[in-house]
Structures are given as C-alpha cells and as structure tokens.
Chains A and B, each alone.
Chain A
Amino acid sequence: MPQNTARLRIRRGTAGEAPQYQEFAVPFEDGASVLDALLWIRSRSDPSLAVRYSCINANVCKECTIAIDGVVDYACTTRLVADRVMTLEPLSGKVQLRDLVSETRPPRERLR
C-alpha cells in the first residue's frame, strides 16, 4: 500500500507559450522513481501529460532525461521524495515540444 505522497510541480505547455506549472500529488511506495510517478499521472490523473521514455526500468534507452529541480537526470533512476515539492522541467537548451518532451532526436533522425 502506498505510504507516501510526492508533490511534483511540472512545467506544462508547448514551445512559445508562457511557462505554466501544474502540481500533482502522487501516492508512492518506498523506492519508486520519478518515472513511476509520471506514468501514474498519465494513467490516473492526466493522460495528456507528455513525457518521453522507452525502456521504462532498465536505464538503457536514456530517453527519459529531464531537468529535476534544475539538475539534468533520468526520471527512471531518480527516487521520489515524500512531502517536498520536486520541480520537473524539459531540458533547457533544447526546443520544448510539449510538457517534459524536448527535441532530443539527433538532427539526422528528424523528418524535416
């Protein structure tokens, strides 16, 4: 049974829009990751939240890189913290596409 609550302040919106932040309260069990919480939000709270990930738990695809409290890190290996606000943002210096998804594709893998 979930014992803790994480408070995630997530930057929402697409490039060019004024930055907006939305806070989510997410129940979690000890040891859960930030990516666990983002998937919980998509399932239970807001399916429109955009987040890039692929391997989910193996830390091999490296796609879930975001800024966590301003520090670049993997959502899949960063642990949640109870009762403290954690701010999640897309990578700075990359074009934001939507929410936590930024343009991280190598230039030669893009359509245009």
Chain B
Amino acid sequence: MTDLAADILIVGAGGAGMYAALSAARAGAERVLLVDKSLVGRGGATVMAQMTVAAALAEECPDAWQAHFDDTLASGRGLCDESLAALLCREAPSRIREMGAWGTDWARRENGRIAQVTAPGHSRPRCCYVDFLNTGPAVAATLRRQVSRVGAIRRVSNLTITDLVTADGEMVGAVALDGESGEAVTIAAKAVIIAAGGLTRIFQRNSASANMGGDGYALALAAGAELVDMEFVQFFPIGHLAPRLVGMDPIMWDPFRYKLGGRLLDQAGREFLPDYGSDETSGYTTPRDIATFAITKEIAAGRGSPHGGVYLSFTHILKSALEAAFGPVIDRLAKNGIDLTRMPVEVAPIAHYHMGGIAVDVGMASSVPGLYAAGEAAGGANGANRLSGNAIPEALVFGEVAGRSAAAFAAARVVNDWPLHLAADAAECIRALGEGRAGDRSAVSALDELRELMWRDAGPFRDATGLARALDRISRLKCALPDIATAPGRRANPMLADWFELRASLTAAEAVVHAALARQESRGAHQRTDFLETDAAWSRNQRIAMSADGVIAVA
C-alpha cells in the first residue's frame, strides 16, 4: 500500500480542479496533490465545452457584472444562492481575461475586440468562445500548461478517490484506488477540494464523459457534508440523436444555434416553439428548460422524428454562411454524411449539467471542516436552471476561491496526524475486490440498468409513481452491491473502478430522486406531470444529508 501526504488534495483535474491547484499554490500551499480518475486535464467536462463562456467583459456593448447576475437569477427561477451567483458574475471577467493572457485564443472581431454572442437568457451579447467548437480543449490546454509549471503541484492520473476519511468530524485524508496497480493508496491531507464534476452519466441519454458518475457528491455526502438542489438536472434540449455522428460531442448544435439560429420542427415540418410561448423570430432565445419541455411534449404527443426526437433544420441558411461560421466543422459533418443545406438532423433532450451539488459558503467551504468544493461539484449558484455559458466561469471562479480557502485552512492546521486505522476498512474493500468475486451481475450491467431507470423515471418529466419506482429499484441495486462480480487480478482491472462507480452513482441517484419526490411543483429543470404549476411556497432550496448509518434523506 502506497502512502501519500499533501497539504491539499484536489479530487478531479478539470477546469475547477486545475484552477484550484494553481490558486492553492499561489496562496502558499507547498504540497498540492491533483488527482484524476482519467488523465489530468483531459477527462471531465471542461474539455468538452463547445462554445459559450459568459462574462461581463463589455467588449461588444456596455455590460456590468450586475446585469449578468440579474440574468443568472432570472434563469435560476428564484432558487439561486445569490451570494454564490454574485461571486461567479463579479469574478468571471478577471478569470476570462487571465485565461486570454495565459494563451487561450478567444475569438475576436476584426477590430481586435473579443467576440461576444447572445445566448438564450442573456440580456446582451456576453458569451465569448474559441473557434471552432474549441472552447473547452483550449481552456483545458491553457490550464494544463500553467499547472505543469508549478513545482508545488503534484499530478497523478488514473487515481480514483474511493473514500474520504474524517477524524472528529474534520477531514484528514482519503483512500484511493490506483488504476494501474489495482491497489489501495492512502492520502493524508490537511484539506480536500472536491472538483469531480457532476452526475449526468447516471442518465441513459447524456453528454457526459466516462467520469461524470456523481462520485464527488457521494464522497461528500458520506463524509458528512450536505447536498443542495439535487433535483435540478439540466437536460440540454437539442442533443444530437440521428444520423449517427462520430467524433463530435452531442451538444454541438448549440454553437450553430448561436451563430445561425436554426429552426426546430416537428415531423410535419412545422415550427412548434411558438406553441410554448417562445418566439424565435429575433434569433435563438429559448431557455434550456423551456425548450426541453416543448420538445419532450412534442415527442410524447407523437409528433416526433423517426428516432424519437424532433428536427433541427438549417436548410434555409446559405452554404456560404454555414462555411463562414463553421469552416472545418462543415467538412467533419460531410464525413458523417450530413449536408445541412439539404437535410435537417434529429435532436432530443440529453442530460448535460447538474445544478445541484455540495452545499458551500462563499469561501467554497462545506459544513465539514477542511472539505471544499468547486465547479459543477458545488451546488447553489445556478438554482433551478443554469444560464448558458456559466459553467466554465463557475469552474474557474470557484476553483480560485476554493484553492485560496483550502490553503488558508491547511496553513492554520498544526498537526497532520494520519490515523491510518481510519482508512483500514476502505483499503480492505479495494483489496477484497481485487481477489475476484463470482457472481452473475457485473457493475457495468447494473450501471446500464441505473441509467435506464433514471432516464425513464427521473428524467425531463417526473411523477410520484415513477420516482417511487426509481427509489425502489435503486435500493435493490444497492442491496446487490456486495454480490457484484469482479474478475480476479489487480493490474488495470477495470472491474474494480466499475464497482466504485456503481456505488457512487447509486448514492448520487438516490439523492436526486429523494429531492425530486419531495418537491411537489414544477420549476426550471424539475418538471412534475402530477404538479404542473410552479408553487410560490416552494421558492426554497432543499438539502440532502446522509445519517450515521447511511440513510439518505431530505435534511
């Protein structure tokens, strides 16, 4: 068993984790350990961002962070944590300009100013980007380069944090599975920052990378922290459905909508958004929650496309305009047999982002001393529906604050006494799995079942019957955990990490379903077919906690 020690352990190395590492080192932390299940700076959600980054840069027209804040609150349907939303909007411009100074090549107008487009829900052009569909890779590359230059940051890839360890209610470290050796690693840490992203992988249709299974939420909950707004999962309305595309993220049509508009059509070729009170004559203006509602309704009414979505059409746009806006992407589409001048594509809602997360204060501190969160893992800033473009600034801004807060906490902590016995159970669990276990069920197949049931019963439309059925099936899967089969052998055995992913995803799913069942109204991304209206009495946030004996419930 390998033992590591750090001032600050950062779980997850996407945008929030990498920025938190830079910030912690800048604040004086000498031993920052940045770990990722996948590869540092390549897994997670940041690298997958297609286009928009919202910040009140005022490059295109007058703007102020307060206007961005107002739009964020309106989008959040009354549930944003205003102090977190204010932090996000106030600090976003500095972080975005800093990324530019570090080499992120923001798209610019001919006059040299950073280009900003109007995304749905924004009162003015505010979203900058890197062409073409390259925002996430460019931001991730910039941060990877910065992180690699800082000697205080140690990076470890393919390390899965399986358990956090507390002593007397405070963070003291973690236990991890080393993907290469298949063995347990213990990590003593004075502070821990969870930057492990969201949970969209627990839904059958998702735009998630492999490591978005809700691990961060499960770790925090088990360590005694509370989760907030867990019922609010953003279903991105126009995820690609057909024809089959390879090498392109399913949310890729959003940039096309920003630049070119586009029309959403039912099977008869009729525009249906006006039926839902959304007029797009002035461009792409329909917020994500309303578009998802409209599309799901059309499909349910039998007016959908052959693969179970609706049509998105750009056939009214000139070929020259398409090529000017998306150059090389048009060639990639051609390789997939898609000619937008001749044919519409099929799109449908897809789980894309989680508004909920670990409950934190403006210092990104959870209720557990020494435990912090940043990025999508932290809940509250986005309320019931995230405003387009807020995810990347959230990662950077919250990462900066979390790194600074954790560094201050760690510096003030006198001892770093690692009570190894507290890690014994978690380490033994890893060892036992590697021995191999006979069984007729694999974690991968159980995860498939979880994704199917979450999509059907806790997806864009929910009701009490479906949510109760989901809870029942989740609890059966939890009972099956000790009997899940693993092949013997430790070295790079994928079934070990699969088991931990299943355990974490079940916890995250249960938190979502409990919160969704309790909220008896429809609001933003949470739509109940048995409670169709928004209820002013529900203008409050729900928290989820885990009891000492592991019971998950609304706090």
Contacts and interface: CB of A to CB of B under 8 A. Distances in A.
Interface string B361-400: 0000000000000000000000000000000000000000
Given A31-B243, A54-B38, A112-B2, A60 B492 contact: no
Interface of B is mostly: loop
Interface string B274-311: 00000000000000000000000000000000000000
B445 A59 contact: no
Contact of A98 (B48, B208, B492): B492
B156 A58 contact: no
Given A33-B246, A54-B39, A105-B158, A42 B444 contact: yes
B445 A43 contact: yes
A81 interface: no
Interface of B: 2, 38-40, 42-44, 47-48, 136-137, 148, 155-159, 178, 180-181, 185, 208-211, 243-250, 336-337, 442-445, 448, 485, 487, 489, 491-495, 498
Given A43-B445, A47-B443, A57-B246, A111 B178 contact: yes
Interface of A: 14, 29-33, 42-44, 47-51, 53-63, 74, 76-77, 79, 97-99, 101, 103-106, 108-112
Contacts of B444: 42-43, 47
B210 A54 contact: yes
Nearest to B158: A105
A63 B250 contact: no
Given A14-B492, A48-B494, A54-B39, 8 more contacts: A43-B448, A57-B246, A58-B48, A60-B137, A61-B47, A101-B492, A104-B39, A111-B180
Contacts of A61: 38-39, 42-43, 47, 209
Nearest to B144: A106
A97 B491 contact: yes
22 contacts: A30-B244, A42-B494, A47-B445, A47-B494, A48-B487, A57-B245, A58-B48, A60-B136, A60-B137, A61-B39, A61-B42, A61-B43, A61-B209, A63-B38, A63-B42, A76-B247, A98-B493, A105-B157, A109-B156, A111-B2, A111-B156, A112-B2
